[in-house]
Chain A
Amino acid sequence: MKSTTFVMNFVMLAIFVTMVGIAATYPPQARFMPFVVGIPGIALCFLQIFLDLCSVRRRKAEPADDRSDVEKARGEMSRYAGRTIESEATAVTESAPDLSSVPPNMVGREILIWAYFLGFVGGILVFGFWMVIPVFLFLFLRNEARLPWLRALLFAAVGTTLLYLVVAKLLRVDLFGGFLTTYLLDLLAG
């Protein structure tokens, strides 16, 4: 059993317990629905924790299903066809991205991508959308996509311009200016 699975059980349990606890302070009509789903939710979390603990031994005995999409499909289709299906199509599928999980040896990279995302959102809150978008695009394209300086700069500029045209000109949406930028602009305006 993956440790993240176990952690998620407790995260969900904590969410349900907290929300049911808060709902208990509401009048009966207002707390009815949170109770209707929250209490069974708590029970299901406990049940899932129990099932996960029970299945640890069984899972250890089973081989991991590390087949590619094509191999899995071949197995399924063989089942439906009632005969073995052989195909050459398995060879190149190893490079296809599997987004269902991230291997443990990539945790450092995982933290890095999260840092980009958090930095991007944090930057928007402080400096505003239009100041942070080009910087974020450039940094990511340069450092993670390994584009040459000039191309990264060009992609970031073109991307930002396109977004500006769509969001600010076509949809006429005023985006958040950022706390610091707005404060400084107000200060300058007197």
Chain B
Amino acid sequence: MLDVMFSALFQMLTSPHIMGLMLIGVMIGIWVGVTPGIGGRLSIALAIPFVFGMDMIAGAVFLLTMHAVNGTSGQISSIMFGVPGDGDDAATTIDGYPMAKKGEAGRALGASMTASGVGGIIGAGVFAIMIPILEPVILSFSPAEFFLLALLGITFIAFLAGGSNIFRGIIVGFYGVILSTIGMDPQTGIARFSGNFLFLWDGLSLVTAVLALFAVPEMIALGVRGGSISGVSMEAAHYSYRQIFQGVMEVPRHWWLALRTSIIGAVIGMIPGLGGSAAAWMCYGHAVQTSKTPERFGKGAVEGVIAPETASNAKEGGSLLPTLLFGIPGSSGMAILLGAFLILGIQPGPMLITDHLDLVWTLIWALVVGNVIAVGFLLFAARWVATLTFVRGTLIVPFVFVVVVLGSYINEGQWENLVILVVLSAIGYGLLRAGWPRAPFVIGLVLGKIAEESLNKALALWGMDFFLRPLSLVLIALIVLTIAYAIYKGRKPSKVAYGEGMSL
């Protein structure tokens, strides 16, 4: 394994093509992270058409790096202006913004970026350690388990995205699966749901569907709301590199906290359904609980910046594990990334371990190298990158619309996809307006074909008895438990009192 591990690193570092794409990915990821209104999920959706037809490894490295560094730049606006880019960054704001107000923006940024980089690297390390541990489990999976894994993936992501509204998530997931059946049936040769439309015989364009469900609705919402933070002062952006260095040194000074929160974050990332902001919140809570001076938190404690940042970036490495090895995305961002991987020809599951271990290691190294590049760049250029926070939403919207429509067309060169884009965008916008989760749709759509293929194989091999295989029973139990827990969570009254700080 060691030779594969290091040859993957060597090949990646010596390939100008991959390193060039990684640099572009890092720059786009940083831009996306700091610009209000464009989330990490949207950036992957927008990039998918442009990696279509690209070499599997190069395309995957590009997308993963872009996704992995989103959080690193997202913290800039959280610390400098108190405006979090997303839920993960909100945790950093609690102590980062008070530090900036005290004139310590540079120290907070130095600490948070270094913590973010360390978290990303440790997260990738935890993933690497888990590979040999999980290998025998993954290799024991058969088609029966893969069908159930697809169902489990939809259930988990429905829970992750919908919480107590798990049924809505499952409905959206099934909607994705049923749309995946459009096109030629491989068993009978019948064109399902396609009528005389030849362009549908190969199935619904995944790129068009993802863009329609994610990019268009979010851009319309951004166009409606605006999304500028121009009212915020740029005063916080004035800091010295000396302050940055002081911040960087805070991480080795609190190395034990950084290590603990990185591992906690990576483990949380591995558990589909927990992901999201929970890693940052839990680790912030952990930092408060283990501090000898907890009263400093909320008023500018540097540990309050280090803990959530290490956790939220370590989570990415952790969530890559179920995504790649089981086909169950650990987060909604990973759900879209999984769709992109499938488009590139990367099949999640045991084949990755047996046939493409080099790819797995390349992706792990991409997380490490991408984080190092992003941190190095941001430590130097954060003050200029911060000005991107002031870009108005209405300036971004038309350009994103153009990229979306281009992407939908370029993918297959069919004008009919533009009509599909409009129809699915209307449904996607309806889901956004109604507060329904959209991530399960992607999982349903990308795993639908694999699920159908696995189901047919399992039925041919074991008939209906495949449900009684030991591993199948474990997976069925997990599906039932997830749904039961979501229902229980939905019925339990919330402990959090609105509008006031919690005291438990």
Q: Which of A143-173 contact B (CB under 8 A)?
A: 144-147, 159, 163, 167, 171, 173
The number of chain A residues touching the other chain, given as a range, is 35 or more
Contact across chains for A48 and B168 when beta carbons are under 8 A apart:
yes
The B interface is mostly helix, strand or loop, or mixed, namely helix
Q: Which residue of B lies closest to A162 (CB)?
A: B399
Most A CB contacts (10 A, CB to CB) among B96, B181, B422 go to B181
Please indicate the chain A residues that have their CB under 8 angstroms from the CB of B178 in the complex: 15-16, 19, 34, 37-38, 41
Contact across chains for B422 and A87 when beta carbons are under 8 A apart:
no
Known: A45-B171, A93-B83. A29 touches B418 (CB 8 A): no
Over the window 130-149 of chain A, the binary record of Cβ atoms lying under 8 Å from chain B Cβ atoms (1 yes, 0 no) is 00010011001100111100
B140: min CB distance to chain A, Å = 25
Q: Is B299 an interface residue (CB 8 A)?
A: yes
Contact across chains for A144 and B223 when beta carbons are under 8 A apart:
yes
Contact across chains for A102 and B221 when beta carbons are under 8 A apart:
yes
Known: A5-B436, A144-B397. A77 touches B224 (CB 8 A): no
The A interface is mostly helix, strand or loop, or mixed, namely helix
A83 to B296, CA, bound (A): 12
Q: Which of B151-197 contact A (CB under 8 A)?
A: 167-168, 170-172, 174-175, 177-178, 181, 185, 187-188, 190, 192-193
Q: Which residue of B lies closest to A5 (CB)?
A: B434
Please indicate the chain A residues that have their CB under 8 angstroms from the CB of B246 in the complex: none
Contact across chains for A87 and B95 when beta carbons are under 8 A apart:
yes
A4: min CB distance to chain B, Å = 4
Please indicate the chain A residues that have their CB under 8 angstroms from the CB of B252 in the complex: none
Q: Is B388 an interface residue (CB 8 A)?
A: no
A100 to B86, CA, bound (A): 12
Please indicate the chain B residues that have their CB under 8 angstroms from the CB of A109 in the complex: 223-224
Contact across chains for B406 and A167 when beta carbons are under 8 A apart:
yes
Known: A70-B82, A76-B277, A144-B397. A85 touches B93 (CB 8 A): no
Contact across chains for B174 and A41 when beta carbons are under 8 A apart:
yes
Q: Which residue of B lies closest to A31 (CB)?
A: B192
B181: min CB distance to chain A, Å = 5
Q: Is A97 an interface residue (CB 8 A)?
A: yes
Contact across chains for A33 and B455 when beta carbons are under 8 A apart:
yes
A146 to B410, CA, bound (A): 31
Known: A8-B430, A95-B232, A97-B226. A26 touches B501 (CB 8 A): no
Contact across chains for B496 and A85 when beta carbons are under 8 A apart:
no
Please indicate the chain A residues that have their CB under 8 angstroms from the CB of B427 in the complex: 11
Q: Is B432 an interface residue (CB 8 A)?
A: yes
Contact across chains for A65 and B498 when beta carbons are under 8 A apart:
yes
A144 to B175, CA, bound (A): 34
Residues of B within 8 A of A (CB): 36-37, 50, 81-84, 86-87, 90-91, 93-98, 101, 167-168, 170-172, 174-175, 177-178, 181, 185, 187-188, 190, 192-193, 216, 218, 220-229, 231-232, 277, 280-282, 284-286, 288-289, 294, 297-299, 392-395, 397-399, 401-402, 405-406, 409-410, 413, 415, 418-419, 421-422, 425, 427, 429-436, 444, 448, 451-452, 455-456, 495-496, 498-499, 501-504
Q: Please give 15 more A-B residue pairs, beta carbons under 8 A apart, in addition to A37-B448, A71-B499, A92-B232.
A: A2-B434, A30-B190, A33-B452, A41-B178, A44-B167, A47-B167, A48-B168, A73-B94, A79-B495, A114-B220, A118-B422, A121-B419, A136-B401, A144-B398, A163-B402
